[in-house]
């Protein structure tokens, strides 16, 4: 596959190139792929591998030229995770980084717009982390509303 040839490592996964990368070299890999035809940045995903105590960032890129999809995977420790911002390569990465910062608590060095995106006034654990218990949160927040007891209708 073209992406694997360009970078010199990676494996084919269901017809798509999967390239594991270190935190520092990810920027160089993405830049190199962009220069070699992978001009469309599809999206930036984050996966919480809580058993391994890791976050996985997956940068999806597509080449209209080679008709090929490349996934660049970067693993970060779950404690104080931080990554370099790539928004200078593709402007829309800024939004993905904002969302991941909000939902997983990953810091992106160089992104000056890590402001709240979907949530408002949130001070709890970042909600997309696996250790955030949505059910308990909902019970804590919404069960505290006193139940309204309807008075018996005595008729006219």
Partner 1 sequence: MKEYELFIGPQHPGVTGNMMYHLWVDGDTVTKAECNVGYLHRGFEKLMESRNWMQNVPLVCRICVPEPDVNEMAYAMAVEQLMDWEIPERAKYIRVVILELARIAAYLMSIGSYAGSLGIYTLPQWALGDRDYFLDIFEQLTGARVYHIYIWPGGVRWDMPEKLPGLIEKTLSYTEKRLKLYDDVLFKNRIFFDRAVGIGKIPRGKAIEWGVTGPNLRACGYGYDIRKLEPYAVYDDMDFEVIKYPELGDFDVLSDGCDAYTRMIVRRLEIEQSISIVRQALEKMPEGEHIIKHPNWLKWKVPPGYAFKRVESSKGEYGYFVVSDGSSKPVRIHVRGPSYTHGVNVAETILKGANMADVSQILFSLDVCPPDIER
Binding region for partner 1 (CB under 8 A): 13-14, 16, 18, 39-43, 45-49, 58, 60, 64, 67, 69, 71, 90-92, 94-95, 117-120, 127-128, 130, 134
User: Between residues 64 and 82, which has the closer beta carbon with respect to partner 1?
Assistant: 64
What token pair was written down for 64? 């209209």
Q: How far is the CB of 12 from partner 1 (least distance, A)?
A: 12
Nearer to partner 1 by Cβ, of 89 and 107: the residue is: 89
Q: How far is the CB of 115 from partner 1 (least distance, A)?
A: 9
Length of the chain: 156
CB of 47 to partner 1, least distance (A): 5
What is the phi/psi pair of residue 147, to 5°?
-70, 135
> What are the start-end ranges of the H helices in the chain?
2-7, 26-35, 93-104, 134-142
Minimum gap (Å) between residue 105 Cβ and partner 1: 14
Using alpha carbons, select from 104, 105, 106, 34 the residue that is nearest to residue 72.
34
Tell me if 41 sits within 8 A of 96, measured CB to CB.
no
């Amino acid at each position: 596959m073209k992406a694997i040839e360009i970078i010199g490592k990676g494996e084919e996964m269901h017809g798509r190139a999967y390239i594991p990368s270190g935190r520092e070299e990810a920027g160089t890999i993405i830049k190199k792929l962009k220069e070699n035809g992978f001009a469309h940045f599809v999206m930036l995903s984050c996966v919480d591998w809580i058993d391994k105590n890791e976050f996985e960032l997956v940068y999806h890129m597509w080449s209209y030229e080679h008709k090929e999809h490349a996934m660049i995977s970067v693993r970060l420790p779950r404690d104080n995770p931080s990554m370099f911002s790539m928004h200078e390569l593709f402007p829309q990465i800024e939004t993905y980084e904002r969302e991941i910062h909000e939902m997983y608590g990953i810091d992106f060095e160089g992104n000056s717009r890590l402001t709240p995106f979907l949530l408002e006034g949130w001070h709890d654990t970042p909600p997309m982390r696996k250790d955030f218990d949505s059910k308990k949160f909902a019970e804590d927040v919404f069960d505290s509303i006193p139940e309204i007891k309807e008075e018996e209708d005595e008729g006219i």
